[in-house]
Structure 1
Amino acid sequence: MSSISFPSELHEHEHTPFYAPPAFDGSAPASGFQMNPLSAHPPRTPRPSTFGGGGGGGMGMGREEDGGVSDESEEELDEENERVRAVERGVRAHDVWREMLVTSNGRDKAFKLMQYSIRVYLLFHSKLLRGGKSPFEQELVRRLTAARSGFSFTRKMLILFNWLTPLSQITAQQAVPFSSSPSSLVAHTLPSALPTLPFPPTPTPALKPTPTPLLSHPFLLALLRAPPPVLLDLASGLSDDLHTLSKLGLIGRRAGERAGRVADWCWFFGTLVGLVENGVEMGVVGGLVREVESRAYTESLAGATQKSRPRASAQDEKELQRLRRKSYWLQVGRAKLVADLVFVVYDLLRIKRWSESVHSFAGLVSGVLSAAKLFDKHKTALVKGLVGGGV
């Protein structure tokens, strides 16, 4: 197909690197393959320009089109993951235990493991091995029994004044952001907007200060506004301290036994509340896990792979790992709460049958699970500190 070229068009083509392609016409003979300009599938890479003009040198080299994401982001994610794994391999168990034993909670868990390990050993020694006949075995049993009692009393001393934490939470509650005085119920308007009255308003008598009733005391109001788990922690801590003081001989034995009974009931209700909260949180985490898995499945059906979308795939994988890890430790916490519930139910109902065996194994299971959870918490904090410090 011939066309008329104007001089201005010829002169313009001499200084531009690109030229307008001929019209798409099936009847015209084509010297090569021509792309339909109305096609919805453009070529994967643009053709380099046939002109060597300086004005189009940057456009004529061509470029890669791999979804708009370079390989640098994927390399950065891999390097970060490898760095965290290397730091985790470098953290030793005794370093984590050293960090745990600095805190009173970590010492409590360590002493609990020792206490109930000795208790289980004494149970096997007396029930299964039928030991205790020779003088050496009698002396060993006596020493281990004294050590078990010592660990138990030490743990009671370690949790003294634990009620200060829920007390601080109660007293730190914010006051109500609005006033309940009668003056706050009057609408505030500008003086110019007030209507003019034909007679002067009668003066209102001054309100006499009324004595503050007992229930309007700030601390009592804070107690009424406190959530039930915090109140249970407060009552349990106070009762445990009274029971410990009775062991020390500072208060009467009967008062200490009553305080211990109250502490057991608080422990029972607190364990039930913990199980409910654990179930709710496990439901939330399970829903998030299903959401991330559904999104990853939808992306796989759409053709998005880890190579085409490295950043999104890596973020989804990290989120899925984090949620599965949280779900695992929630299951560990639920097993620990179940062991605590069995232990305290035997105490509250005063069940005698298999009491020693149930208390020994339930206490050991609870100690192992709680120590493992605290160990992982301190290890994670130690790894984050080393990674953040650039070690």
Structure 2
Amino acid sequence: MSSISFPSNNSSFISGASSFEHDEHSHTPSFDNVSDAFHMNPLSAHPPRTPRPSTGMGSSVYGTEVYHKLDETPETKTTYEEDSEDEDDKARAEAEGKVRKEEIWRDLFTTSNGRDKALKIMQYSLRLYLVFHSGVTATSLLKNRKSSSWEADILKRFESTANGFSLTRRCLILFNWLVPLTSIMEQHNNAAVSGGDSSRKGKSKPLLHTLLNSPPPVLLDLLCGAADDVYTFHRLGMLGPKLGERAGRVADWCWFAGTLVNLVENTVERSVLLNLQHEVESRLYKESMSGQTAKSNPTANRIDDKELSRLQKQDFWIQVTRFKLLMDLIFVSYNVFRLNRAKRPVQTITGLTAAFLSTAKLYDRHKTVLIKAAKH
């Protein structure tokens, strides 16, 4: 197909088309290299259209180099994003290789929380040894009193060591009630500042009002920390037995209620996370069913794959936290409801399991921090 002619002056049409082709502000590419150009009617009310690929006989009018120019920017951008993501993955892999396990344990033990977990593992490991060897020692005492005297002495030493670990752990978590108290004071100060700006009277609500309006988990942490400190001072001999036992009961009830609240929050958080994970999986499934692969749409597939792996890892640690909370709930239920049947073995196993789970989570947290620092 050559050119379309109109029953008017052709020179005006050609000049109008040529002026449009050389307009530098136009987003439509010029067709200078095409011999048979399409001439636009300047009297037409419709604006010029962006050329589309044609399947008819006139496909040679819109050369293929036009579409290579149009697709040049997205392809370059996609390649740049892929290269940056590959470099980020390589940097993370190199950072993981640089971080050693000794460094992670060193940073973990420099914190009071890390030392508490280490002492908890040692404490309940000794208690587990005592649980499994108490029956054997009792039978050996009946058979041979001379040879079993040193065994009884070792068991007494292990029992004293486990009690010492317990008291040391309580001293490490002294004054933990300052954390929720600080958040309550910040909330009170913010409310006072906002109230003073709005009313300009300089009057603020009392601290008791802010304390009562605080979230229940914060109040439970505050009360539990204060009661734990009173019980610790009783264990140290500074307070009497009556006050110490009452404080221990209050701390157990606060621990029990706080564990239930954390279990509810954990369940809600996991449900939200599973919904997000289901959305990503559905999107990947639709892309696979529509014929899109990692080669046809590499950026979208890579982003979805990374998002899915991130959500799966987060879901794993949420389940670890839930299992740890269940162990804590079983442990404290024996103290709250004063259960005596199989109390020592059950509390030993649940306490040791909770210690390993919390240590693993803390280890992963410190590892992530060191990897991020090594990348920079």
1:313 to 279, 301, 318: 301
| 1:135 and 2:149 aligned | yes
Could you give the per-residue CA deviations for residues 22-66 of structure 1, whole angstroms, max 9, x where no partner exists? 99xxxxxxxxxxx98466xx79x9556xxxxxxxxxx79989779
User: What displacement does 1:288 show?
Assistant: 0.7
Provide closer, same or farther for how the CA distance between residues 348 and 305 of structure 1 changes in structure 2, counting only shifts above 3 A: same
- 1:199 aligns with none
CA shift in 2, pair 1:61/1:293, >3 Å = closer
TM-score of the two chains, using structure 2 as the length reference: 0.78
> Which residue of structure 2 lines up, in the alignment, with residue 175 of structure 1?
191
2:214 matches 1:226: yes
Number of aligned residues: 331
The answer for the alignment partner of 1:322 in structure 2 is 310
2:232 counterpart of 1:244 = yes
How far 1:67 moved relative to its partner? 6.8
1:165 has 2:179 as partner: yes
The alignment yields a C-alpha RMSD, in angstroms, of 3.5
**Unmatched 5+ stretches in structure 1:** 24-34, 49-58, 185-211
Q: Secondary structure at the match of 1:294?
A: helix
State the alpha-carbon separation in 2 of the partners of residues 363 and 373 from structure 1: 16
Q: Which has the higher helix share?
A: 2
Max Rg structure: 1
What letter matches 2:250 in structure 1? V
Residues 89-120 of structure 1, C-alpha deviation per residue, up to 9 Å, x if partnerless?
Answer: 33222211111111111111111111011111
Residues 251 and 182 of structure 1: is their aligned pair in 2 closer, same or farther, counting only changes over 3 Å? same
Distance 2:35 2:261 in 1: 76
- Structure 1 residue 311, shift from structure 2 partner: 2.0
Q: Is the 8 A contact 1:67 1:309 kept in 2?
A: no
Instruction: Report deviation, 1:85.
Output: 2.2
Q: Measure the CA separation in 2 of the matches of 1:60 and 1:19.
A: 18
**Alignment pair present for 1:80 and 2:83:** no
In the TM superposition, residue 2 of structure 1 has moved relative to its aligned partner by 9.1
Distance (Å, rounded) in 1 between the aligned partners of 2:68 and 2:255: 74
What amino acid is the match of 1:94?
Answer: E
Deviations 1:204-235 (A, max 9, x none): xxxxxxxx9xxx85210110221000000000
Aligned partner of 1:19: which letter? Answer: S
Residue in 1 aligned with 2:340?
A: 352
- The amino acid that maps onto 1:324 is Q
Which of the residues 248, 267, 270 maps onto 1:279?
A: 267
Amino acid at match of 2:322: R
Matched, 1:152 2:166: yes
- The structural deviation recorded for 1:74 is 1.9
Given the two structures, how large is their TM-score scaled by the length of structure 1? 0.75
Amino acid of the residue matched to residue 108 of structure 1?
A: D
Please list the CA deviations of residues 161-218 of structure 1 after superposition, one character each: whole Å capped at 9, or x if unmatched: 000000001010021645799999xxxxxxxxxxxxxxxxxxxxxxxxxxx9xxx852
* Equivalent position to 1:341, from 329, 353, 362: 329
Whichever residue aligns with residue 232 of structure 1, its letter is L
Of all paired residues, the percent bearing the same amino acid is 45
Give unmatched runs, 5+ long, in structure 2: 19-30, 40-51, 142-147
Q: Residue type matched to 1:166 in 2?
A: P
**The residue matched to 1:166 in structure 2 has which SS?**
helix
| Structure 2 counterpart of 1:123, from 116, 125, 131 | 131
- Given the alignment, which residue of 98, 107, 113 partners 2:121? 113
Deviation at 1:81, TM superposition (A): 1.2
Structure 1 pair 352/2, CA: closer, same or farther in 2 (3 Å)? Answer: closer
Distance change >3 Å, CA 321–CA 62, structure 1 → 2: closer
